[in-house]
Structure 1
Amino acid sequence: MVSSAPARSQLDTSHSYFLQPSSVPGGPPVGLLLRGVNLSSTSKFPTIPNSLSQYQDLTGVSRSDRDQKRQLLAGQQSHLGEEEVGFYTEAEQGGRDGWFVGRPFPLEEADVHLRRLKAWGFTTIRFLVVWEALEHAGPGKYDEAYIDYTISILRKCREHGMRVFISPHQDVFSRFTSGSGAPYWVLEALGINPKRIHQTGSAVVHQCWSTQGYGGEEGIQSVKDGKLDNWPDMIWNTNLHRLAARHLFTMFWASDKFAPKCKIDGIPASHWIQNHFMAAYGHLADRLRDAGDILDECLIGWDSMNEPSEGFIGIPDLNQCPPAQSFKKGPSPTPLQGFILANGQQVSDVEMADFTSTGQKSKGTISITPPEGKGVWLTRQEARDAESKWGYKWDDEWDFWDENGQGGCVWAGHGVWDPKSGSILRDQYFKPPGKTEIDFIEEFWRVHYTKFIKRIRQSHPNAISFINPPVFEEPPDLSEDVKGGRIALSSHFYDGLTLLNKRRHVYNADAVGLQRGLTNILSAIKLGEKSIKSTLRGQLGELKSDAHKSEGMAGHGEGGSYPTLIGEIGTPWDMKSTKLLGLAKGKADRKDYKEPAKAMDQVMNACDGHNALSYTLWVYEPLSTHKYGDGWNGEDLSLISYDEIPTEGQEKDDDLLILNPPDLQSLITLGSRGISSWCRPYPIESVSKIDEFSFSMKDGEFNLQVLIQGLDDHKVWNSDRDLNQIDGDEVGDIKGTPEGIFKGYTKIYIPYVHYLSQADTSPSLSKDTGSSAATNKSRIIGEPSEDNEEWVKGNGPARNDIEVLEISEGSLAVKGQWGWWTYELGEKGERIGKLRIRPWKG
């Protein structure tokens, strides 16, 4: 079923689709929908050094022992701090060789995980690689053991026919600001002591929450007065608006403009740090190239930096939280208050904010007192120690300390504010008045992206560049030499109200339209299921349009139209039941996933229709648990979890079957959550244009409409020669067609989850009912897959059982979980083709 390597290595992105050349010489190229998953949340963390020898053989070991082993494998999850895992100590020492080996999963488990993803109908992986995994030991010191492991995993992906693109992943800059990404030494090089970030309110750090929390009832007390064990949902995201991330991002993008005194080894800090970032991923690209069997036939491209943030850039008034900071949760200092706290000084009126179903709320103010008056900035002595340890040198102008070697604030040193008076001196420093406003994307992000993709293509010339602009922002115009005809948009989308409040509502809002000024708050509010589905689809359609706009990435030169892949999309599985029309939370119910499955179905439907989007779901993380979610800041979006397996009763050992499934049912369903919502039919590839499609999770009806082009009308391929095969496999009577008639096809994923036959699936039955259909209201009992996999062991091979409600022309054949709808191209001209199926109901 997998195309030959030459065909797979030449994906084209210039016609709104990902196009794969035909496996048959002269045949039409095939338009692809790339759908898959992100791998994985634990990829953001290093492993924990431990001896697992006692757990290597799990046979006969108790379930509690197996769960303990899985928690060890989960590694440095974000609720584990210094006391448990040496959160700061090990990083401060540069980590160890192979620190991230085993991310996203152990090599010996790769085959079963990839088999499962393929059985779920997925073909594509967004593979997370954080900067820390590559260069944790210090500037220019790369972890070759981790890269060796990554090469091995990618080879496994190739064996299973998966297409992969790499995400240079970060969230809120670094693990030490409760995110992921940059190594410890980067924070020190940019002037910050990571160990004092949380206690100065410069970020709310999960690893420090219970030991240095904003505790007490509802968190309305001083930082020094208590503990708060419950980590608030999505509070990590608000760290983008606290001092540490704002400072670090500003220095990364634009120290040459805003902090010119800060130079490292004689060059602006932003140039120095970006050079290391690009060199690290460039080294990875070199190693993947040298491996000889990964680029193009497996690794098709590279994302730009995940969800970049602008830091301080563009803030109009440093005395106030900027208008763009529309989401606040927990302690929310203004930029000025952040400067004061980072200097080790108390602030007594920090807003304590919350985000509820009815919008942003203020819960009063709190006092934050940095312990011992110590600020977040490195002291003079700490700075000198860091220089000696990591091997770089700050220039002499980077000297903002007082006579005692204290202070050290970069922004006080540049005259932005005065620590003595606690006041802003230049409130528009990061958005100076003038004829033109600072455009972060155009002036800083685009420049970095251009350098990054050029470096990657030195090693991977055919790489598709997946462009991931700041969330909900439009990508800029890009020159043809940068695009190289090989780009795709990789925007992210989450239903914010559902994600933030972890429950479904009877209303929603057009968040994309609001941010882009396309609507106002009154028009943005949508009530009712039908309206919510419509606005979700409209928002994704607006994001998709960015790949077609002549003033954006599709502009420059002749212009064009590029494909869109939504790089992250999903819903939380720890959703609360809905009360009072969604205004109040009920309790989380792990007995079933009806509510989150409905929420997931809504966003999946939004990707269908005329949008016909490619996507990679967030996230596939087997080590997710009910207690700690996916291991990262309380998020719980994984499609799978061992905790879905009962710990008591006759099925108490079924967790063993996740890695050793005896049949298809075990492979596909064990540990899954809400599988009926995201394991859904879709047209995986077609020689025709996919016009629109839809799926009803309730009754399983699937509708597909394609635009079939005649030979003379087809815009993107040469029709001089016959198409005799489909993806290397003969399907139906394709060979020997009459002169001037050529077969086209659309290949469809038809999941057993929805269409598995419940009848006797012996070969004799399929002879009676037919394994293909060419007329309306026909029944198809499909053929088993080539390997005759059994749904339940001992019950015979799995087959689909389908009722064809409508087929406008041609015929449908079903084999395993794949359907081939074939039809004539010939000289008929452009026309609409329709197919409608549902599970056979008798």
Structure 2
Amino acid sequence: MLELPPRAASCLSSVRFHPCDIRLGSVSAFQAKPVTAGASIFAFTAVASLCGRTRFRTRRFKKCCSARTAADKTPGVKPPSRLKVVGSRFVDEEGRIVVPKGINFSGLSKVPLNPNGATHLGGSQFYEHRQVSFVGRPCPIEDLDMHLQRLRDWGFNLLRLLVTWEALEHAGPGVYDDDYISFIRMVCSRAGEYGFRVLIDPHQDCWSRWTGGDGAPGWTLEAAGFRVGPDLHKSGAAFLHQENGDPLPSMSWPSNYDRLACATMFSLFWAGDRIAPGIAGQLGTGDLPLQQLLQDGFINAIAHLARSVKDIPSVMGFETMNEPHPGWLGRDFTQAQIGPVSSGESPLAQLQRCSPGKGSPWASSCLWAQAGVWDPPSKKLLDASRFDCDWLTDCFAPFVERFTEALLAEMPHALIGVCPPAFGKEGQQPFPGKLHAQAFWTPHFYDGVVLVGKVWTPAFGVEETLPGTTLLGLIPAPPVLPIFGREERLASYKRQLEQKCRLASQETASMLGEIGVPFDLKSPGMAPSDALQESIDVHMRALEELMLPFCWWNYTPENCKARGDGWNGEDLSILSEDGGRALDAIVRPCLLVCAGSPVHQTFDLQEGYFQCEFDAEPGESLFFIPSRHFSADNAILSVTPGIDALWNVELQTLVCRSDRVARVVVDLRKKKLQERSTCRIAWVAVNVHFGAIFGRVGRTTVRDELMGQRHSSSNSCDSDSFPKQRDAKSARHASTTPLTDRRAT
């Protein structure tokens, strides 16, 4: 590395410096300019084994100082600008393409904090569903700064914030939890101070906590005639961790989608007027027809929350409903379903087994007997024809339209993420409706073998095929195809991700709402840590190479070795009690904001190599460059000639500024060991200061989009949570360098 004379080193330790605008030909140079009034200017130049001319352009001292003063007056970071959907991209107010990198926050927001709703905890308090509180989910407010800072340092800039219908309206129909809503307002506001955008996810799995998942309030089950108690599990109407205890079969909770309680509730939610006409809720309060009570209740609760957060700039919008399911709509009542969400019994067999009587989940009579679907005395099916429908066209698309209309009435600038089904044939079919101009597509993707089997096999995997797929254009393809080899696994993931995005069936932006891997992963012949890192790396490479916005599942502050995420045996949080997990694979360089059009990007974790290519337009593009992979001491940065680039190691950002239309390539790689002792790079040694950097760039918009760091040492975390303190060599100004020689930086 370049060594400074003693006099220079002493000055650098006491004086703040403004990075000069250096354009490099093929001579390596270093220059620093004091910003203290009256101080003399000194410069040092080191020449490496390169030839050419060096050009220096310094900016006026006054401009630098004014930026410093403005920064000092800003207590935090301005919230990010609003996004809109343009074609298939998210675009900010300057017309730049934004590629959000999100995290689901948090996996335990599905259950209340008081009493503790972790699924391994059962007992009578589990069934006391009206007196609960979700205040403190996703984390206590006093810990929020620590978690937000950590997530920013790991490169995330979007929170998919989990909120359940139960959290909003657990006390009864129309009775909203104002304390929880105020808490969510604080979380969203604070997230904006750290530069996060917030996408609120009305989360559910298998309808509710008492039907094996989370989401809806307990009173919705009572409205349909169920008794919220242990008989839901004992009768087989639901499968509950709280009642089953340990060990819990891996990924057993999705079977609840096909069990009586969950399937009944979803069927009524989508089509109660059709399949149970004239039957009102059974809460004894002059209840509405069941479909209206359920669907309107859900939409009204989320609209109420939207009304409460619409003035918070960081809130970009809402999703419709996490992983919706049709229930028994479209099912043959006499046939058992096959697959990961099957209970192993036909709907009729379940009705017969759970008929009214001792141990029945029904509080009195069976709703489906009242509706004329079956006859309990004879145990015969009467008329299930009303369940025959095209769920996507008849139920889901109209719901998406109603939800969007209601939310935009409260929050006109909101974006609406449409989450398709995750299970069953409906999750493989194109959306039949027309999405609103402010809507976008939010599918989910998990490798089923990895998620359910908790095993990573580098040499072998399977690829899910869509209905109608053929082999060689001749014969129907099976539901899954074998995949051999790591690179083919990567190509398979990319194909499957593209297929999921195409199911929107129209041009719109897509953002993967969930993707992740279990951390209790094993692999034959590999150390668990190596298997985990390789699995995450392949998933991440697929996302990066497609430049697909995503929200990784998940970040749960309460995760621990004994209980994982605390929900149904899952362990997918990137944070645990010992700190961050598999961070080398998760914390990665990437393009975040592009002034122009992205073309390609790739990151090779093993080789320590990152490259991004984009067609630049006049403006500034922003990259996240994690210090855990690249630093001023170990990396070589090359940028297409004619492009100004500022690498701020402290903020882990790279800003590329172009004043023309051009194809730009950013190339960053770790130096080989022998290169590290030779001065082959030019850089500016400065005491990094937020205001000084942006004084040089001269654009306040970059400050708004940058990493949103708060310069505070009060929130101490584990070693993987915050960057280590760095010396004065913390900002590299890498300017125009030919890519024909990647060492010429």
Normalising by the smaller structure, the TM-score range is 0.7 to 0.9
When residues 626 and 106 of structure 1 are mapped into structure 2, their CA distance, relative to the original with a 3 A threshold, is same
Say whether the 8 Å CA contact 2:454–2:522 is kept in structure 1: yes
1:640 aligns with 2:640: no
Distance 1:598 1:298 in 2: 34
Partner of 1:16: 88
Say whether the 8 Å CA contact 2:79–2:195 is kept in structure 1: no
Distance 1:624 1:426 in 2: 47
Deviation at 1:838, TM superposition (A): 1.2
* Residue correspondence of structure 1 range 410-421 to structure 2 within 5 A: 410-421=367-378
1:230 aligns with 2:247: yes
Distance 2:382 2:646 in 1: 72
1:507 aligns with 2:463: no
Match of 2:152 among 93, 98, 118: 118
Cα RMSD (Å): 2.5
Deviation at 1:562, TM superposition (A): 2.1
Distance 1:38 1:416 in 2: 40
1:172 aligns with 2:206: yes
Deviation at 1:808, TM superposition (A): 6.3
Deviation at 1:102, TM superposition (A): 0.3
Deviation at 1:8, TM superposition (A): 4.2
Query: Residue by residue, what CA displacement relative to the aligned partner does 1:341-394 show, whole Å, maximum 9, x if unpaired?
Result: 2216xxxxxxxxxxxxxxxxxxxxxxxxxxx83211111xxxxxxxxxxxxxxx
Distance 2:220 2:479 in 1: 44
Distance 1:543 1:462 in 2: 26
Secondary structure at the residue paired with 2:669?
Answer: strand
Query: Residue by residue, what CA displacement relative to the aligned partner does 1:161-194 show, whole Å, maximum 9, x if unpaired?
Result: 1100111111100000110011111100012112
Secondary structure at the residue paired with 1:21?
Answer: coil
Match of 2:279 among 262, 266, 282: 262
* Residue correspondence of structure 1 range 208-223 to structure 2 within 5 A: 208-210=243-245
Say whether the 8 Å CA contact 1:308–1:469 is kept in structure 2: yes
Amino acid at match of 1:81: G
Deviation at 1:427, TM superposition (A): 5.8
When residues 328 and 463 of structure 1 are mapped into structure 2, their CA distance, relative to the original with a 3 A threshold, is closer
Match of 1:494 among 425, 446, 453: 446
1:283 aligns with 2:304: yes
1:476 aligns with 2:351: no
Distance 2:393 2:442 in 1: 18
Distance 2:209 2:469 in 1: 33
Partner of 2:24: none
Distance 1:252 1:823 in 2: 51
Secondary structure at the residue paired with 1:576?
Answer: coil
Deviation at 1:256, TM superposition (A): 0.6
User: TM-score of the superposition, structure 1-length normalised?
Assistant: 0.66
Distance 2:204 2:657 in 1: 46
1:524 aligns with 2:481: yes
1:839 aligns with 2:670: yes
Query: Residue by residue, what CA displacement relative to the aligned partner does 1:280-336 show, whole Å, maximum 9, x if unpaired?
Result: 1122122223xx4x1xx2001000111000001011x211123xx42257x622222
Partner of 2:635: 802
1:691 aligns with 2:596: no
Secondary structure at the residue paired with 2:274?
Answer: helix
Deviation at 1:258, TM superposition (A): 0.9
Say whether the 8 Å CA contact 1:206–1:231 is kept in structure 2: yes
For structure 2, the 5+ residue unaligned runs are: 1-70, 472-476, 677-745
Match of 2:509 among 542, 547, 563: 563
Say whether the 8 Å CA contact 1:78–1:178 is kept in structure 2: no
Deviation at 1:80, TM superposition (A): 0.5
1:242 aligns with 2:199: no
Partner of 1:100: 134
Say whether the 8 Å CA contact 1:255–1:270 is kept in structure 2: yes
When residues 150 and 81 of structure 1 are mapped into structure 2, their CA distance, relative to the original with a 3 A threshold, is same
Amino acid at match of 1:338: Q
1:137 aligns with 2:171: yes
Say whether the 8 Å CA contact 2:79–2:192 is kept in structure 1: no
Secondary structure at the residue paired with 1:164?
Answer: strand
Deviation at 1:813, TM superposition (A): 2.5
Say whether the 8 Å CA contact 2:79–2:193 is kept in structure 1: no
Structure 1 stretch displaced more, 230-239 or 452-461 = 452-461
For structure 1, the 5+ residue unaligned runs are: 23-28, 50-74, 211-228, 345-371, 380-407, 432-437, 555-560, 580-585, 645-670, 710-742, 757-780, 782-799
Partner of 1:340: 352
Say whether the 8 Å CA contact 1:8–1:21 is kept in structure 2: no
* Residue correspondence of structure 1 range 305-704 to structure 2 within 5 A: 305-315=321-331, 317-322=332-337, 325-327=338-340, 332-343=344-355, 373-379=358-364, 408-426=365-383, 428-431=385-388, 438-471=389-422, 472-474=427-429, 476-479=431-434, 483=436, 485-505=437-457, 506-511=459-464, 513-514=465-466, 517=469, 520-521=477-478, 524-547=481-504, 552=505, 554=506, 561-578=507-524, 593-609=529-545, 611-642=546-577, 644=578, 671-704=579-612
Structure 1 stretch displaced more, 679-688 or 191-200 = 191-200
Distance 1:635 1:95 in 2: 26
When residues 522 and 185 of structure 1 are mapped into structure 2, their CA distance, relative to the original with a 3 A threshold, is closer
Say whether the 8 Å CA contact 2:80–2:196 is kept in structure 1: no
Amino acid at match of 1:568: E
Amino acid at match of 2:363: L
Secondary structure at the residue paired with 2:498?
Answer: helix
Deviation at 1:474, TM superposition (A): 4.8
Deviation at 1:811, TM superposition (A): 4.5
When residues 515 and 825 of structure 1 are mapped into structure 2, their CA distance, relative to the original with a 3 A threshold, is farther
Say whether the 8 Å CA contact 1:249–1:311 is kept in structure 2: yes
User: TM-score of the superposition, structure 2-length normalised?
Assistant: 0.74
Secondary structure at the residue paired with 2:85?
Answer: coil
Distance 1:447 1:454 in 2: 11
Say whether the 8 Å CA contact 1:809–1:823 is kept in structure 2: no
How many equivalent pairs are there? 585
Deviation at 1:510, TM superposition (A): 2.1
Deviation at 1:825, TM superposition (A): 5.0
Query: Residue by residue, what CA displacement relative to the aligned partner does 1:554-604 show, whole Å, maximum 9, x if unpaired?
Result: 3xxxxxx3221101111000112326xxxxxx9xx7xx6221221111111
Secondary structure at the residue paired with 2:598?
Answer: strand
Secondary structure at the residue paired with 1:567?
Answer: strand
Deviation at 1:753, TM superposition (A): 1.6
Amino acid at match of 2:584: S
Say whether the 8 Å CA contact 2:80–2:195 is kept in structure 1: no
Amino acid at match of 1:230: P
Amino acid at match of 2:199: F
When residues 254 and 628 of structure 1 are mapped into structure 2, their CA distance, relative to the original with a 3 A threshold, is same
Match of 1:752 among 627, 631, 645: 627
Deviation at 1:515, TM superposition (A): 5.2
Deviation at 1:527, TM superposition (A): 1.4
When residues 429 and 460 of structure 1 are mapped into structure 2, their CA distance, relative to the original with a 3 A threshold, is closer
When residues 258 and 174 of structure 1 are mapped into structure 2, their CA distance, relative to the original with a 3 A threshold, is same
Secondary structure at the residue paired with 1:510?
Answer: strand
Deviation at 1:119, TM superposition (A): 0.6
Partner of 1:146: 180
Secondary structure at the residue paired with 1:373?
Answer: coil
Say whether the 8 Å CA contact 1:78–1:206 is kept in structure 2: yes
Say whether the 8 Å CA contact 2:77–2:193 is kept in structure 1: no
Say whether the 8 Å CA contact 1:803–1:837 is kept in structure 2: yes
Say whether the 8 Å CA contact 2:646–2:654 is kept in structure 1: yes
Deviation at 1:836, TM superposition (A): 2.1
1:205 aligns with 2:240: yes
